[in-house]
């Protein structure tokens, strides 16, 4: 069993399946130009599955797929199915910005994804566009609506920034 410096068991593994993202959030990717990893440096599904097998053997039983934006990874439902075949994995989750979630939610659930967390920092379209450099709030909200149907009890994350979106905390709580 893996343990941290306080001898607590490490049972959770976050897997970044891509460095690519379809947003340019000010707090996450501030550069206008960004150099992505060359495709040959990104782990294949087989390499990811092999690593997961090693970590599962060390006691990990919770996996979270992240990115960048994990839904930009081609054939992500196939990877979910491969990872879900590990009998010891009791929780398979994903964090997403929600933009592409609508078209993929059903396939991801069918492949074995158990939980989804959607990142949403504002409900104001102009503010969303300013914070992310993309006018994608409608697609994010559509993804959230789909998540509510496919993954009851899904979570919404908000990065609260003083003077930027801290005036929306109550609105986002009511929305959630």
CA dist 126 and 135 (Å) reads: 8
pLDDT tens-digit series, residues 71-115: 999 999 999 999 999 888 889 999 999 999 999 999 999 999 999
* pLDDT tier for residue 32 given thresholds of 50, 70 and 90: low
> What percentage of the chain exceeds 70 in pLDDT?
98
The CA-based diameter of the chain, rounded to the nearest angstrom, is 48
What's the pLDDT at 18?
92
pTM to 2 decimal places? 0.91
What's the pLDDT at 87?
80
What's the pLDDT at 25?
83
- Average confidence (pLDDT) over 152-159: 94
Nearest residue to 63 via CA among 94, 38, 41, 32: 94
Nearest residue to 87 via CA among 39, 53, 58, 121: 53
> What percentage of the chain exceeds 90 in pLDDT?
77
* pLDDT tier for residue 31 given thresholds of 50, 70 and 90: low
Q: Is 27 helix (H, G, I), strand (E, B) or coil?
A: coil
């Amino acid at each position: 069993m893996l343990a941290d410096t306080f001898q607590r068991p490490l049972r959770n593994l976050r897997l970044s399946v891509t460095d690519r993202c379809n947003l340019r959030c000010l707090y996450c990717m501030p550069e206008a130009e960004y150099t992505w990893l060359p495709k040959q440096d990104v782990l294949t599904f087989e390499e990811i599955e092999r690593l997961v097998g090693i970590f599962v053997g060390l006691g990990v039983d919770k996996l979270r797929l992240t990115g960048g934006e994990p839904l930009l990874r081609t054939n992500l439902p196939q990877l979910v199915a491969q990872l879900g075949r590990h009998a010891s994995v009791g929780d398979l989750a994903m964090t997403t910005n929600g933009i592409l979630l609508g078209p993929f939610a059903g396939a991801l659930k069918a492949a074995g994804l158990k939980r989804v967390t959607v990142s949403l920092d504002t409900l104001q379209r102009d503010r969303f566009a300013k914070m992310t450099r993309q006018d994608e709030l409608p697609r994010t909200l559509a993804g959230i609506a789909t998540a509510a149907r496919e993954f009851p009890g899904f979570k919404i994350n908000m990065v609260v920034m003083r003077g930027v979106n801290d005036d929306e905390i109550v609105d986002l709580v009511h929305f959630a």
